Amino acid sequence: MTVALTTEEIYKITHKVQPAAQLRHLRRMGVRAERRADGTVCVLHACLASNKAPAPESKPRLKSDRGQTAHT
């Protein structure tokens, strides 16, 4: 096993071809990703293994709920 994901693996996760789009998508997912000197994206396997997805909220967040506190 290699230390970092391959270009093909990154594409399978993001479905994006351009490195800038791949970075945006990965960072939105909460995955730590960096750009290499040659412009390609680097994601370490260790970053994926330690990344924990946020727990889903019990109900959808609405704009009308912004002013209310969590205790109501």
pLDDT in the model for residue 57: 53
Residue 4, in any domain of the structure:
yes
Residue 51 pLDDT exceeds 90: no
**Domain for residue 25, yes or no?**
yes
Q: How far apart are CA 45 and CA 64, in angstroms?
A: 40
Tell me how many domains the chain contains.
1
Secondary structure (H, E, C), 10-69: HHHHHCCCCHHHHHHHHHHCCCCCEECCCCCEECEHHHHHHCCCCCCCCCCCCHHHCCCC
**pLDDT of 44 strictly over 60:** yes
Q: Which pairs from 59-62 meet CB under 8 Å and 24+ separation?
A: none
Of 33, 38, 39, the closest CA to residue 14 belongs to: 33
The answer to whether residue 62 is domain-embedded is: no
Q: Using the predicted structure, report yes or no on whether residue 61 has a pLDDT greater than 70.
A: yes
Q: State the residue range of the domain holding 26.
A: 1-51
